[in-house]
Structure 1
Amino acid sequence: MKRRVFLGGAAAAVAAPVLAQAQAPGPVRVRLDTADGPIVLELYPDKAPITAGNFLRYVDEKRFDGATFYRASKVPNAPEFGLVQGGVQNDPARVLKPIAHEPTTKTGLSHTNGAISMGRTSPGTATSDFFICVGDMTYMDADPKQPGDNLGFAAFGKVVEGMEMVQKILAAPTSPTAGEGVMKGEMLAQPVKIVTARRLPA
């Protein structure tokens, strides 16, 4: 006959924080070594566990090694602001299954300067490709007051070192004819290689 074990009093008080720590890990830092220099990200799996966890899987399985930053989308009349996009671009040998969407209304994060977020078409289609904001772009946050697809994009961290590298990528020349749809004219003439992507020690 199996014995049932019940935690009470001091034992329960000790167990609760341990469980909370296991379910809500703190920030995780990742270093992207690019051909132009390093970019250090701080990810928030406690706030965006699905999205941050997906990105970390690409890192841990070295799927981002050899990927590129391939897009620089500049704000009209203010080209120092915009976003840079990178990832494996649906390479069948690297891409993983799409993940569930985590809107900013759920995570509490926002698309402010340096935020990293997932590219997508409809909600629930994000895979590997991500973007980094240069300047505040809070219009990319979820907004339930807006009609249609109002779930925004899934922010899950921010740049903590190397923002000058991101700005350099944004300023790089683009091809006027490459790309389709909203990306036309925004594809980098010379994509910037992500040499390695690795977790940093806690």
Structure 2
Amino acid sequence: MANRGRLKAIGTILLSCLMLLAAVVPAVSAPEKTVDVVITTEQGNISLRLYPERAPITVKNFLRNMDAGIYQGGQFYRAVRMDNQRPANTTITLIQGGRNPAVKPLPPVPHETTEMTGISHQNGVISMARLEPGTATSEFFICIGDNSALDYGSDRNPDKQGYATFGVVTDGMEVVMQIQNQPTNVPMQDPNSPVKGQIMEKPVRILNITRK
């Protein structure tokens, strides 16, 4: 009987220790799900990591376009630098591209703001181009440096909704910079166009975008 009592006491002490340990050590959360893709261009490859848990709508749209072959034969056609943008309260630096011009775009998707995703427009971040909120289809841009002026709440755009970020470059920023340095200044029909002086003389072809 004495031995049984001692064993019971030891068991109680061990259970208490385990409960205390569980309270002190935080639970290990599951790793975030990501999707790795590569943009193959005639200038080189750009590897991306997409965040479907943070930006489910936007990532799903990008992958939908990718799987449909929308980007095969597409192009980077816009390069924004410090030397080719109009004076403004905020400046941006990026490259923009998208679908094959001969391919009809898929329907637009609802707008996911940076406030919703928690992904700011920082160096290497990829985001969707748009006109009004909820008009993004296939066109995207890659940030070079701090472009937080494109985040939610910024007054760069009158609607202050910013753009929909959904991933980041993991390898190939040197290719992004090389594309940004392509000659621009294609004449525009509209002299007041916000992209005046930013359209490449020779767009850089996107050969394909595929999962890694």
Q: Give the TM-score, by structure 2 length.
A: 0.76
Is the CA contact 1:109–1:156 (under 8 Å) kept in the aligned structure 2? yes
CA-based RMSD of the aligned residues comes to: 2.5
| Distance apart, 1:143 and its partner CA | 1.2
Residue 202 of structure 2 is aligned to residue 190 of structure 1: yes
Residue 68 of structure 2 is aligned to residue 56 of structure 1: no
In structure 2, what residue type is equivalent to 1:52? Answer: V
1:76-113 Cα offsets, whole Å, 9 max, x none, are 499xx711000127x47331001100000011111000
CA separation of 1:105 and 1:65: change in aligned 2, threshold 3 A:
same
1:15 corresponds to: none
Q: How does 1:70-89 map to 2 (within 5 A)?
A: 70-76=77-83, 82-88=93-99
Residue 145 of structure 2 is aligned to residue 138 of structure 1: no
2:46 corresponds to: 39
Q: How does 1:13-28 map to 2 (within 5 A)?
A: 26-28=33-35
2:22 corresponds to: none
Is the CA contact 1:104–1:141 (under 8 Å) kept in the aligned structure 2? yes
CA separation of 1:192 and 1:145: change in aligned 2, threshold 3 A:
closer
State the alpha-carbon separation in 1 of the partners of residues 137 and 157 from structure 2: 25
% identity of equivalent residues: 43
State the alpha-carbon separation in 2 of the partners of residues 54 and 43 from structure 1: 12
Paired positions, count:
176
Q: Give the TM-score, by structure 1 length.
A: 0.80
* 1:183 match: secondary structure: coil
In structure 1, what residue type is equivalent to 2:199? Answer: M
State the alpha-carbon separation in 2 of the partners of residues 82 and 175 from structure 1: 16
1:154 corresponds to: 164
Is there any run of 5+ residues in structure 1 with no aligned partner, and where?
1-20
| Distance apart, 1:61 and its partner CA | 1.6
State the alpha-carbon separation in 1 of the partners of residues 157 and 40 from structure 2: 40
CA separation of 1:66 and 1:179: change in aligned 2, threshold 3 A:
farther
Instruction: Name the one with the larger strand percent.
Output: 1
CA separation of 1:130 and 1:65: change in aligned 2, threshold 3 A:
same
State the alpha-carbon separation in 1 of the partners of residues 126 and 173 from structure 2: 11
| Distance apart, 1:41 and its partner CA | 0.7
State the alpha-carbon separation in 2 of the partners of residues 64 and 113 from structure 1: 23
Is there any run of 5+ residues in structure 2 with no aligned partner, and where?
1-29, 86-91
